[in-house]
Structure 1
Amino acid sequence: MKRILRTPLGATAAALLLAVLALAVVAPLVWTDRANAIDTAQIMHGSSAAHWLGTDALGRDVFLRVLVATGISVWLALLATGLGVLIGLLLGAAPVVLGRRAGRFVTAVVNIAVAFPGLLLALFFAVVFGVGATGALLAIGLAVAPGFARLTQTLVAKVSGLDYVAAARVAGVGRIRLLFRHILPNVAEPLVVNAAIAAGSALLAFAGLSFLGLGVQPPSYDWGRLLGEGLQAIYLRPAAALGPGAAVVIAGLAFHLFGEALAKGFTRHTPPVRVRRAEPVPAVGATNDDAVLVVEDLRVGFPGVTPVRGVSFSVGKGEAVGIVGESGSGKSLTALAVARLIEHPGRVEARQLTFQGRDLRNGNARRHRHLLGTSLAMVFQDPMTSFNPAMRIGRQLAEVAEQHQGSTRKQAWQRAVDRLRAVRIPDPHRRARQYPHEFSGGMRQRAMIGMGLMGKPALIIADEPTTALDVTVQRQVLRLLASIREDDGAALLLISHDIAIVSQVCDRVLVMYAGRIVEDLPADELYTAARHPYTRALLAAVPDMTTDRDRPLAVIPGRPVDAAQAPPGCAYAPRCPLADKRCIDTAPPLRDGDGRRVACWNADVPVPVGEQA
């Protein structure tokens, strides 16, 4: 606000609006009796020193009546705006609160209403609710609502896709709390701006309805009614019509300018997993008895495309499993499907999907949220979008304990401070009271890990946890994850583009390409026993201290396959130097042998020199 008031536009708009609001409060208290005083000796007089805007048919001073009418004109406009904003918020937030089907219906209704001009809607509702101030109030409020609902829908949809909202869902935060704590505070600025502008439009609409005789009725009066009375004799007493008209313009301009000043100053549901009958695909690694997570034949699809196709793996207690592959290979979608964060219109199908022995494909959704919120920790790629920017770090961590552990607000706060200390954030008491933008990138990432530790996670899913961090901070984050595994026995599913980091941190490596696992092998054998040409090409593309600096860096030729146009055979065949007719025609199965899996017809065949990447 200080920045707004320092600008000429902001200062002028604020002063003008403050004057209008002050007049709306003071004028009815001070001048109502004089404005209503009838003087038959002064009927229909023009402008004079005694009556600046002349008098009306009963000899009442028009200027005083214009001042007194400020109260009812402004307050009715504000009430109508408040009603429209409230209804608009409810309609705009419906997809988040009501779920997909009911939200889709509400969205369709809003889209139909937005197609009609606001004034036309106001006239329609005014006829429906009847003549009078109450009917006009309801009519204008309902006319304002559709535009505000559309804006709210757009803003809410954008924020709902951010990581910190996904993190709140993983933590089991309910829809209502999610809306009011994590979504609406972060879309408040444009809503406030548009509410200020809508107030000016509502004032003009109210004056229009009263001018037409549909609004305020005698003996009450507002600017629209005074304007209608003044127009009856505009050629004889033009000031009687110009006065209320000028008041409407000035007040409307005050609201609109203040909204513009605010705009410049501010410039700074999970679908169920479907069971699909399919041939068994073995998931190797841990046995089902000691596995934290078991995934068999997982498929993630969207209209027209299936980016994850038949993924099977398991993660044992305390085991670290890495997933590597190029962008678009399906790594993150696999993790989101496990955490039940694939939104409509996405669909998830699996022959088996169990976490901590609990089948996530069906059952009580509330129990699943509690299980995932306490036993699964998600560390997202971008730590800046992983936290709600409008909430303090400590409150965001404490929310997990309040939701799932039944802790009091004080206990949850103490637990949050303790978890920040556990992830080695200095001065955790002070840091807990700070906002995300006050943390460095590495501290935000550690705080995100601390959020996962508010419960007792059996599995930590880290999706590119070291992206955009310098190597020193990367090492700190990786050491922190390793110490958590050692101290708490938590399993780790690490997703990364950096195959070197995965080989150092993980026990087992899954290599994904075009939505499938093409190789699964122990991490300590990655550089010596990789069998798939794609895995060997990835390794060859990573420079090391022995790389010849006089030669161009190695690259994998071609481009990754489009998930919407997956070929019938091996997806890597167009880029593979070993591809033959069988590779092009038939997709190789993921064959199991000796605790290792590989999907390649030509596994173990040496790649010609110079063609590894």
Structure 2
Amino acid sequence: MSVASTLKAVVRTPLGLTSLALVILLVLVALLGPLIWGAQAQRIDPTAAFRSPSGAHLLGTDALGRDVLARVMVATRLSLGLAMAAVLIGVVTGTVLGTAPAVLPRWAGRILSTFVNIAVAFPGLLLALFFAVIFGVGTIGSVLAIGFAMAPGFARLTQTLSAAISGRDFIAAARVAGVSRFRVLIRHVLPNIGEPLIVNATISAGGALLAFAGLSFLGLGVQVPAYDWGRLLGEGLNRIYLNPAAALGPATAVVIAGLAFNLLGETAAAALGGRNARRPRRLPQTALSGAPGHAQVVNDDMVLLVDDLRVSFPAANGWVTPVRGVSFSISRGEAIGVVGESGSGKSLTALAAAQLIERPGHVDAARLEFCGTPLLDTPERTLRPLLGTSLAMVFQDPMTSFNPTRRIGPQLAEAAAEHQGLGRTASMARAIERLKAVRVPAAERRARQFPHEFSGGMRQRAMIAMGLMNHPRLIIADEPTTALDVTVQRQVLQLLASVRRDTEAAILLISHDIAVVAQTCDRVLVMYAGRIVEDLPASRLNESARHPYTRALLDVVPELDTDRDTPLRMIPGRPPAPGAFPAGCAFADRCPLASALCREQDPALTDAGDGHRVACWHPVDGDLPVAAVPAITTAVPVPDFEPQEAVR
């Protein structure tokens, strides 16, 4: 939502319009007050001291005969200026403290986060008084005191907002592209948390006004001859029984200004909350083959080698391991499909290979190598050039894979600028070239558009183009056709096939649709409960699948000539939760062939000949057709409406 859109949303409500009008009025008084009432506020008349309210002096006069109302108007500039300065200090300091853990070493980030958590526990006014003692009495000391007292709150807010943004796919895409942490922070995280920070800064301005009034009232803030509303309030209270209006004027100004900023911020926050019903030059070859500080490629054919991969996360009762003992390899130009129900560990396996598992998650493997480089033992700084140029990631939802605040072209160009040393013009030209390569029409115009201006299919094409900005040797496509209609699905899959053919890049395709994988890949890995239960050539999937789970996946795929009066089929039951894997085969409770052995011992993935591996104590005879396998599916009635979509 742009600033103009936010303002329109604010003025649509009476409360928002009123608060905005009050803020504008306060700003005008702050700018024009000294010019209009400055002389009257400074005119000393001892004969008119301590006058009560009258037509000449609406709020009376002070001890020197100066008009109190004029002094309240003139004090608006200093009161608002000091509050804005304190808010600026608080926002900047809090943003730095909140984002620093993302770029500092982990131990330093933890220390800083602990310091922020301790500071947030203290009341803001108490912190302000503490800092006021440190920085001393006076205007500068009070500005620093209130600003630093506000910083912990903004630091906590920044940490929370950054954590929400850091989980988005476009952040992972930037990291896969090898973008440094600092650049990710500046270019991707901060622009997406700017709006809520500004809204909270507006709300905090009201609190800063009250804090300044309190410090000046106590004599710790503005000192004579300067004066703000707090100092005028203190002077008025000294003779409140003789002239209550002298204290009522500055008190009313503080209340109105505080309410105006708070209500404006709250209205803007409501508006923002309702926005939705929610580098062509290649790297020198030496850079990837032995130059200091870069990963070394030792095998031109083996792109990815995974041996006994395990991904674990801490839980209340220990560690949960949703991926346990996965082993496979991908060679140059090879396409491997990974299928299985949700929660089987497909995406976690891909994220581990792309080094995108964040702490406290833990990745362990006997061997995990990309282009001959061990991923678990090589420092991140050394891996970045290799992963940024040779690994591409196409995520499931292209809308969340792009930074919504930046145009498509610059997002694509960032990878080329980071790794190929191209300038701004050359990297943009490369981005347009890649958009044309994935058949995005009017690429020059499209590169200047935002992600929301692209259709779902075009966003997915642009995501593939981002992966091709460098020269990837492996493309990991995680559900790239989800939520796309069948025509666009076919186009995306054809595009991946053409990219594979033209660049000899290996492809790891993750999908729920076993039929799609069978048609587009060379090999199929069937995962269940964090393990590979079958690995076989895609060309022999329908005839040679031997694991009952693989047969069940094939059985539930509807055919085009399926009788609509026949209920669709499904696999009964659910996969076990990652923290509740059984002692034996995880599929035993859903398998009609299961025996006591299946429930006691987990079968190993063993060689079945001709590049076929299966993990089952009672594998099905590969020569039997799917229909001859004992039934393990349950019928599901077909809803009586048109059109009927195929159920995966």
Q: 1:609 aligns with which of 630, 637, 643?
A: 630
What SS class does the counterpart of residue 511 from structure 1 fall into?
A: strand
Find out whether 1:305 has 2:320 as its counterpart: yes
1:277 match: none
What SS class does the counterpart of residue 93 from structure 1 fall into?
A: helix
Find out whether 1:430 has 2:441 as its counterpart: no
1:596 match: 612
- Which ranges of structure 1 fall in alignment gaps of 5 or more residues? 269-286
CA distance in 2 between counterparts of 1:339 and 1:48 reads 77
Task: Check whether the contact 1:224–1:244 (CA below 8 A) recurs between aligned residues.
Answer: yes
| Corresponding letter in the other structure for 2:301 | D
2:75 match: 69
Measured against aligned partners, the alpha-carbon deviations of 1:556-585 in whole angstroms (never above 9, x if no partner) come to: 122101111212211111111111121111
| Corresponding letter in the other structure for 1:234 | I
Mean Cα displacement is larger for which, 551-560 or 476-485?
A: 551-560
| Corresponding letter in the other structure for 1:601 | W
Deviation at 1:72, TM superposition (A): 1.1
Find out whether 1:316 has 2:331 as its counterpart: yes
Deviation at 1:33, TM superposition (A): 4.0
Task: Check whether the contact 1:376–1:457 (CA below 8 A) recurs between aligned residues.
Answer: yes
What SS class does the counterpart of residue 570 from structure 2 fall into?
A: coil
2:376 match: 361
What SS class does the counterpart of residue 103 from structure 2 fall into?
A: helix
| Corresponding letter in the other structure for 1:503 | A
Measured against aligned partners, the alpha-carbon deviations of 1:332-377 in whole angstroms (never above 9, x if no partner) come to: 0000000000011100011111111222122232231111111111
Deviation at 1:383, TM superposition (A): 0.8
In structure 2, relative to structure 1, the CA distance for the partners of 1:35 and 1:481 (3 Å cut) is: same
Task: Check whether the contact 1:288–1:294 (CA below 8 A) recurs between aligned residues.
Answer: no
What SS class does the counterpart of residue 214 from structure 1 fall into?
A: coil
CA RMSD across the alignment: 1.7
1:177 match: 183
1:490 match: 505
Q: 1:85 aligns with which of 69, 87, 91?
A: 91
Deviation at 1:29, TM superposition (A): 4.2
Find out whether 1:375 has 2:386 as its counterpart: no
1:501 match: 516
In structure 2, relative to structure 1, the CA distance for the partners of 1:75 and 1:132 (3 Å cut) is: same
CA distance in 1 between counterparts of 2:299 and 2:64 reads 92
1:513 match: 528
2:149 match: 143
Find out whether 1:49 has 2:61 as its counterpart: no
CA distance in 2 between counterparts of 1:172 and 1:404 reads 8
Equivalences for 1:395-414 in 2 at 5 Å? 395-414=410-429
Find out whether 1:394 has 2:409 as its counterpart: yes
CA distance in 1 between counterparts of 2:35 and 2:136 reads 29
Identity of matched residues, %: 65
2:572 match: 557
Deviation at 1:69, TM superposition (A): 1.0
Measured against aligned partners, the alpha-carbon deviations of 1:353-405 in whole angstroms (never above 9, x if no partner) come to: 11112221222322311111111110000011000000000010000000000
Task: Check whether the contact 1:557–1:575 (CA below 8 A) recurs between aligned residues.
Answer: yes
Q: 1:293 aligns with which of 293, 296, 304?
A: 304
What SS class does the counterpart of residue 187 from structure 1 fall into?
A: helix
Deviation at 1:288, TM superposition (A): 6.7
Q: 2:34 aligns with which of 28, 32, 47?
A: 28
Task: Check whether the contact 1:395–1:413 (CA below 8 A) recurs between aligned residues.
Answer: yes
Find out whether 1:440 has 2:446 as its counterpart: no
1:418 match: 433
1:339 match: 354
Deviation at 1:546, TM superposition (A): 5.0
In structure 2, relative to structure 1, the CA distance for the partners of 1:612 and 1:261 (3 Å cut) is: closer
CA distance in 2 between counterparts of 1:558 and 1:533 reads 14
CA distance in 2 between counterparts of 1:574 and 1:109 reads 50
What SS class does the counterpart of residue 573 from structure 2 fall into?
A: coil
What SS class does the counterpart of residue 297 from structure 1 fall into?
A: strand
In structure 2, relative to structure 1, the CA distance for the partners of 1:49 and 1:78 (3 Å cut) is: same
CA distance in 2 between counterparts of 1:339 and 1:214 reads 56
Deviation at 1:226, TM superposition (A): 0.6
What SS class does the counterpart of residue 400 from structure 2 fall into?
A: coil
Deviation at 1:450, TM superposition (A): 0.3
CA distance in 2 between counterparts of 1:231 and 1:556 reads 79
Task: Check whether the contact 1:160–1:183 (CA below 8 A) recurs between aligned residues.
Answer: yes
1:284 match: none
Find out whether 1:112 has 2:123 as its counterpart: no
Deviation at 1:447, TM superposition (A): 0.3
Measured against aligned partners, the alpha-carbon deviations of 1:201-254 in whole angstroms (never above 9, x if no partner) come to: 101110011011111111211110110010111111111111111111122122
In structure 2, relative to structure 1, the CA distance for the partners of 1:442 and 1:152 (3 Å cut) is: same
2:104 match: 98
Mean Cα displacement is larger for which, 541-550 or 220-229?
A: 541-550
What SS class does the counterpart of residue 554 from structure 1 fall into?
A: strand
Q: 2:43 aligns with which of 33, 37, 41?
A: 37
CA distance in 2 between counterparts of 1:610 and 1:562 reads 24
Task: Check whether the contact 1:536–1:612 (CA below 8 A) recurs between aligned residues.
Answer: no
Task: Check whether the contact 2:592–2:630 (CA below 8 A) recurs between aligned residues.
Answer: no
| Corresponding letter in the other structure for 2:588 | A
TM-score normalised according to structure 1 size = 0.94
| Corresponding letter in the other structure for 1:60 | R
Q: How many residues are matched?
A: 595
CA distance in 1 between counterparts of 2:213 and 2:632 reads 78
What SS class does the counterpart of residue 461 from structure 1 fall into?
A: strand
Find out whether 1:474 has 2:489 as its counterpart: yes
What SS class does the counterpart of residue 226 from structure 2 fall into?
A: coil
Deviation at 1:124, TM superposition (A): 2.1
2:263 match: 257
What SS class does the counterpart of residue 611 from structure 1 fall into?
A: coil
What SS class does the counterpart of residue 569 from structure 2 fall into?
A: coil
Deviation at 1:407, TM superposition (A): 0.3
2:646 match: none
CA distance in 1 between counterparts of 2:179 and 2:560 reads 48
CA distance in 2 between counterparts of 1:225 and 1:588 reads 80
1:282 match: none
TM-score normalised according to structure 2 size = 0.89
Deviation at 1:612, TM superposition (A): 5.9
Q: 2:541 aligns with which of 493, 507, 526?
A: 526
Measured against aligned partners, the alpha-carbon deviations of 1:303-358 in whole angstroms (never above 9, x if no partner) come to: 12100001110001100000000000000000000000001110001111111122
Equivalences for 1:162-241 in 2 at 5 Å? 162-241=168-247
Task: Check whether the contact 1:100–1:344 (CA below 8 A) recurs between aligned residues.
Answer: no
| Corresponding letter in the other structure for 1:85 | V
Mean Cα displacement is larger for which, 434-443 or 102-111?
A: 102-111
